Structure 1
Amino acid sequence: MEKQNMNSLLTKFLKKYPPEDFIRFKKAQYVFIFSFSILSGLLILNIFGLFFLDSSRMIEIAKSSSMLGSSCIIIILLIRSGRVELGANTLAFTACFIASAGFLSRPYYLSGVTMGVFMHLCIGFATLYCSFTVSTAVLLTFFSTHTYFYFFIAKPAATGFLVQTVNSTFIDGLITLTLLYILGTITAKFLNRAVSTAEKESEKNKENYSQIKSLVSTIKNAVIELNESIDKNYNIITKYSDNAQSQAASMEELSATVEEISAGTENVSKATDYQKQSIEELSSSINALSSSIDSIENYGSGMKDTLVAFLKNAKKGSEASGTLDIINKKILQNSNDITLVITIIEEFFDKINLLSLNAAIEAARAGEHGRGFAVVAEEIGKLADHSTQELNRISDLIETNKKDAVESDKVINQILEFIDETMSSLNTLQENAVTTVKALEEQKKLKTDMDNKTKTAIEKTEQINISMKEQQSAVEDIALSIEDTGKTIQQNAENTKILQESADRLKHLSSQIEKEIAE
């Protein structure tokens, strides 16, 4: 709970840095903690001196810590105002000045041991948190300090075994500073490049997510249109079935009329008129049936075109999902690269901890003169420990990101499987639509045959009106026509049943697609 409260207070203090800008937010956080730790250490040192040291020593400590304390306050105010880069540069230059001044003012046989470590920490901080220009300026300043110290202070004063110590301090110091500068610069550039790549990949993921979202919306709209088309076709088929039943009833009435004609010639004229009227009604029903068949054929063609467009969109979705899978794997690889860099930085901070411990030991050897530096070395060690903890947090975040990338890869594979299943269902639906259109073409042929039969029946009826002698022959012809028409109507009824079953299958497939999209 206390840790959460501290993080909340720190976030409020750094409100100028949005959490979305993770790198800049963390830079401000680290620089603030570093400055605040130094300021706290100086305050504790002055309070300790106030109670346990004499006035002259206390005044000396206050003078030596006033510049560094003032700089830390200015740096904290700069961070608070949102200028973390200027704050980091100020801290680097202040530390550079103090380290150089301390290096030149210490006894020549202790400078390399006491202040050299502080220079190393300053170089590491400048390369990681400051610009290339600032870190280079700090390095050149330390080079100049080492060179001046060696040729004008240490070398003229060194005697005996201290000559070798001074030479080693000069050469080892320059080499160590150079290596730390190169390592820090390369690490900072690699981290910046990795973060930039991750941001670009994140933008690509957002674009691919928008494309998939648009594709799902298109699929939903296509399913809605498909349902509407199926409902219309189903209604037309129902009407077609009703018309077939009406035709069957008309044929029954026509058969009764023929029986009446055979029973007696007295009602021949009336029966003939009734028969003619029934045939005309049959012709009207056939025309209505033809119109219904044409409408169903048009809807079937439209449904076929819709399915073709739907299949194309599904293929595009599959390709986009494949691209997203490749990008997701790139993110996973970048996360692995960042993990390697974090491992290098952890080793770097471990070395800083070791150097800080050595500095504390040397400061203890120096006695009263090294007490102030011991506090600084201790705070630097704490900062290194804290930085290591933050690196572990970053490593945990990267591991979480890798796990999320793996889960995202599973979801993408599920989307690809779903699209494949959808395309398979759509292919089946398209085949059923083609079968329906072919059945409608057969219905059109049957309609033509029915028209011909109806014309024949009308001609026979007219022949009955012309000549009573040909009545029997006409009745037989009509009976044959009725029989053929009955077979045709029966076939139409069977075709209607097939169309209804096809419509039911289409509705079932459409419902399945809609449920899968909703899931």
Structure 2
Amino acid sequence: MFRKFSLKGKMSLFISVIVLIMFAITTTLNILELSTQLKNDLKKELKSVGILTTNSIDREDIQYLTTNSSGSDEIFKKTQEKLDDIMEKQGVMSWSYIWKMNGDSVVPIAFTKNLDEIYKAGENFTDLADIHLKAATKAMETNQPVVTKIFDDPFGTWETVFTPIVDENNNPIAVLGVDYSADYINNIIQKSLIKEIVIAIIGIIVLIIVIYFSIRKLLKPLDKVISVANNVAEGNLSDSNLDLNRKDEIGVLSNSIQSMIDSLRNLIHNIKLTSEHLAASSEELSATASEGYHFSKKVSDELKDVVSSTNNTLLIMEESAQAMTESSDGIYKIAQSSSVVSEVSQETLQQAEEGNKAIKNVVDQMEKINNSVTHLSHAIKQLGVSSGEIGSIVNIITEIADQTNLLALNAAIEAARAGEHGRGFAVVAEEVRKLAEQSAQSAQQIHELINEIQKDSESSISVMEQGKEDVQYGIELTKEAGNSFEEILTSTRNVASQIQEVSAASEQVSATTEEVSASVEQLKEYTVTSADNLGNVSISSEEQAASIEEISRATHSLSEKAEELQQLVSSFKL
């Protein structure tokens, strides 16, 4: 319950409790002192009344009554009237009486009329209260007034003053007793105490009111500090001027909060600019990754076509090799049997024509392969350049994420310094830091994927350059084979007219055919190698396309995180 009170209420209550305790202690001590003082004053007053009463009575009458007291005596009546008159004027006496001491008893020689039924003038009275007897005896012995303590008897609660009556020689001859009701005494004390308590209560109330308004005036500047702190907690940093011009602790607190708000405003502004830049860079990177994905997809499709064409070329090369083998066998038969030269020459002519066509086809196909490999090489180089640009953008995103993480850390520190008012900002700063770390992780993943793509691109470029050289060499060999086939055709056409030279020509043709066969076989091997390399390039291109697609998804996620960061920052009003 106490925790729900405001600071003003707590301070007012605390100081009021202390004041009440101090006033209670002070008032209690004053009351005790006042009570003692009142009792002493009452005793003095009772003694004074006793002395005045004895002075108002004729001493000679008292001397006479000590020996001749009687209820019918004129002196007795005179004295009784005097005592009644004094009692009436004094107003607080219960009764008064004059005793002549007689050992352990007394002889009433005069008394007020209200004691006629108790006392008999001139007769010995023994029904005395012990406190009365001791006080009266002491007054006679000391020749000084004596006041008893408050006591009870069958007639009530009393306090009595005994005053000695002396003769002309100042010797006590009798004692005057005046009884006062204890209720009167207590009423006097009670009224004085009540008056003292009322004055104390009024003083406490006035002091508490003064303390409350003093605390209220002292803590009034905190209302503005609290208002600004609430605005900051709600995200409103626009209305946060705390120019209190104070040098006390409240002024130091307001200046510290103002500095914290200014730092927080600058931090949020920087985070806002950074998030906007991050969002723009993410969009640009996403567009670049998407374009790279489509380009890689296109290259992969073209490589598949090149692989298919290379496989067809390989089939043609196998057919050419087979044809060259058959041609070599035929020429060998021509050398062995000149009788069948004409027939073998015709067959050789036909096979040479077919081989010439195949070689031309091989040359054309190799030209196509060369063009495709050249185009693919340029495309892969361009992919490497694009990957480098993406890497640069990723580096920028990494730097932005690191800066955002640093700013978030600074915001968390400033929010921690703000204490309770800064708790909401600590939550925002933590979310910003997590987003920055996620952005840095995504950027690192993208950077690693880019590095793998660049490595694959460099490897593909190297393989393509080697394949390009191999294809060029195959084209040259195929052209040589074509020239050889042209020579075979020319020789075969002249076989009929040069039967004499068939043997020598057959040997020459056989040797040439063997060389062509070897060349074709070597070209076949090159073609197989090119087909394998192109297949590997195609697979790498597909993997690159998948990597770029993953980059695209990562940049899209980064863009979403940047938008979330912008939404968080937009909740603050600068």
**Residue 210 of structure 1 corresponds to which residue in structure 2?**
283
Which of 356, 369, 386 is residue 283 of structure 1 equivalent to?
A: 356
1:500-511 alignment runs, 5 A limit = 500-511=531-542
Give the Cα separation in 1 of the matches to 2:427 and 2:237: 29
1:53-72 alignment runs, 5 A limit = none
Give 1:336 deviation, angstroms: 2.1
Give the Cα separation in 2 of the matches to 1:447 and 1:221: 36
* CA distance 1:180–1:397, shift in 2 (3 Å): closer
Give the Cα separation in 1 of the matches to 2:237 and 2:451: 52
Give 1:518 deviation, angstroms: 4.9
For structure 2, the residue ranges without an aligned partner over 5 or more in a row are 7-207, 551-574
**Residue 323 of structure 1 corresponds to which residue in structure 2?**
396
**Residue 201 of structure 1 corresponds to which residue in structure 2?**
274
**Residue 441 of structure 1 corresponds to which residue in structure 2?**
472
* CA distance 1:295–1:464, shift in 2 (3 Å): same
Number of aligned residue pairs: give it. Answer: 342
The worse-fitting range, judged by mean Cα deviation, of 447-456 and 307-316 is: 447-456
Give 1:298 deviation, angstroms: 0.8
**Residue 119 of structure 1 corresponds to which residue in structure 2?**
221
Give 1:512 deviation, angstroms: 3.3
**Residue 314 of structure 2 corresponds to which residue in structure 1?**
241
The worse-fitting range, judged by mean Cα deviation, of 111-120 and 324-333 is: 111-120
TM (normalized to structure 1)? 0.59
1:405 aligns with 2:405: no
1:191 aligns with 2:293: no
Give the Cα separation in 1 of the matches to 2:333 and 2:294: 59
Letter in 2 for 1:225: K
1:391 aligns with 2:422: yes
Does the 8 Å contact 2:394/2:447 carry over to 1? Answer: yes
* CA distance 1:196–1:461, shift in 2 (3 Å): same
1:258 aligns with 2:331: yes
CA deviation map 1:114-151 (0-9, x unaligned): 23313322244258749999877x968xx9xxxxxxxx
Give the Cα separation in 2 of the matches to 1:248 and 1:180: 96
CA deviation map 1:308-333 (0-9, x unaligned): 11111111111111111111111112
Give 1:410 deviation, angstroms: 2.8
Give 1:180 deviation, angstroms: 5.3
Give the Cα separation in 2 of the matches to 1:133 and 1:241: 77
Give 1:177 deviation, angstroms: 6.4
1:312 aligns with 2:385: yes
**Residue 564 of structure 2 corresponds to which residue in structure 1?**
none
**Residue 295 of structure 1 corresponds to which residue in structure 2?**
368
Give the Cα separation in 2 of the matches to 1:436 and 1:319: 31
Give the Cα separation in 1 of the matches to 2:240 and 2:305: 76
Give 1:252 deviation, angstroms: 3.7
Give 1:281 deviation, angstroms: 1.6
Alpha-carbon RMSD across the aligned residues, in angstroms, is: 3.1
Does the 8 Å contact 1:247/1:285 carry over to 2? Answer: yes
Give the Cα separation in 1 of the matches to 2:239 and 2:279: 37
Which of 416, 437, 452 is residue 421 of structure 1 equivalent to?
A: 452
Give the Cα separation in 1 of the matches to 2:390 and 2:466: 28
Does the 8 Å contact 2:411/2:425 carry over to 1? Answer: no
CA deviation map 1:254-288 (0-9, x unaligned): 24543553465554334323322221221111111
1:156-235 alignment runs, 5 A limit = 175=248, 178-179=251-252, 182-235=255-308
Instruction: Classify the secondary structure of the residue corresponding to 1:120.
Output: helix
Give the Cα separation in 1 of the matches to 2:327 and 2:240: 108
Give the Cα separation in 2 of the matches to 1:292 and 1:342: 73
Give the Cα separation in 2 of the matches to 1:463 and 1:244: 28
1:494 aligns with 2:525: yes
**Residue 483 of structure 1 corresponds to which residue in structure 2?**
514
**Residue 485 of structure 2 corresponds to which residue in structure 1?**
454
Give the Cα separation in 2 of the matches to 1:243 and 1:123: 91
Give the Cα separation in 2 of the matches to 1:494 and 1:314: 34
1:468 aligns with 2:493: no
For structure 1, the residue ranges without an aligned partner over 5 or more in a row are 1-36, 39-105, 144-172, 347-387
Give 1:478 deviation, angstroms: 1.8
Does the 8 Å contact 1:335/1:402 carry over to 2? Answer: yes
Identity %: 13
CA deviation map 1:176-217 (0-9, x unaligned): 665555444433332222111111111111122223322322
Does the 8 Å contact 2:271/2:404 carry over to 1? Answer: yes
Give the Cα separation in 1 of the matches to 2:542 and 2:374: 21
* CA distance 1:254–1:118, shift in 2 (3 Å): same
Give 1:427 deviation, angstroms: 0.9
Does the 8 Å contact 1:296/1:440 carry over to 2? Answer: yes
* CA distance 1:265–1:332, shift in 2 (3 Å): closer
Instruction: Classify the secondary structure of the residue corresponding to 2:378.
Output: helix
* CA distance 1:135–1:491, shift in 2 (3 Å): closer
* CA distance 1:269–1:395, shift in 2 (3 Å): same
* CA distance 1:183–1:261, shift in 2 (3 Å): closer
Letter in 2 for 1:236: S
Instruction: Classify the secondary structure of the residue corresponding to 1:464.
Output: coil
**Residue 338 of structure 1 corresponds to which residue in structure 2?**
411
CA deviation map 1:467-494 (0-9, x unaligned): 2222222222221222112111211121
Give the Cα separation in 1 of the matches to 2:331 and 2:240: 114
Give the Cα separation in 1 of the matches to 2:427 and 2:225: 27
Letter in 2 for 1:438: E
Does the 8 Å contact 2:363/2:479 carry over to 1? Answer: no
Give the Cα separation in 1 of the matches to 2:237 and 2:529: 79
* CA distance 1:329–1:255, shift in 2 (3 Å): closer
* CA distance 1:133–1:206, shift in 2 (3 Å): closer
* CA distance 1:251–1:126, shift in 2 (3 Å): closer
Give the Cα separation in 2 of the matches to 1:119 and 1:399: 32
Does the 8 Å contact 2:289/2:549 carry over to 1? Answer: no
**Residue 133 of structure 2 corresponds to which residue in structure 1?**
none
Instruction: Classify the secondary structure of the residue corresponding to 1:466.
Output: coil
Give 1:407 deviation, angstroms: 3.6
* CA distance 1:184–1:263, shift in 2 (3 Å): closer
Give 1:345 deviation, angstroms: 2.6
Give 1:498 deviation, angstroms: 1.2
Instruction: Classify the secondary structure of the residue corresponding to 2:495.
Output: helix
* CA distance 1:132–1:230, shift in 2 (3 Å): closer
TM (normalized to structure 2)? 0.54
Instruction: Classify the secondary structure of the residue corresponding to 2:220.
Output: helix
**Residue 161 of structure 1 corresponds to which residue in structure 2?**
none
Does the 8 Å contact 1:450/1:488 carry over to 2? Answer: yes
Does the 8 Å contact 2:332/2:510 carry over to 1? Answer: no
Instruction: Classify the secondary structure of the residue corresponding to 1:481.
Output: helix
Letter in 2 for 1:240: T
Does the 8 Å contact 2:359/2:482 carry over to 1? Answer: yes
* CA distance 1:265–1:122, shift in 2 (3 Å): closer
Letter in 2 for 1:297: N
Give the Cα separation in 2 of the matches to 1:445 and 1:189: 77
Give the Cα separation in 2 of the matches to 1:341 and 1:509: 50
Does the 8 Å contact 1:139/1:177 carry over to 2? Answer: no
Give the Cα separation in 2 of the matches to 1:301 and 1:259: 42
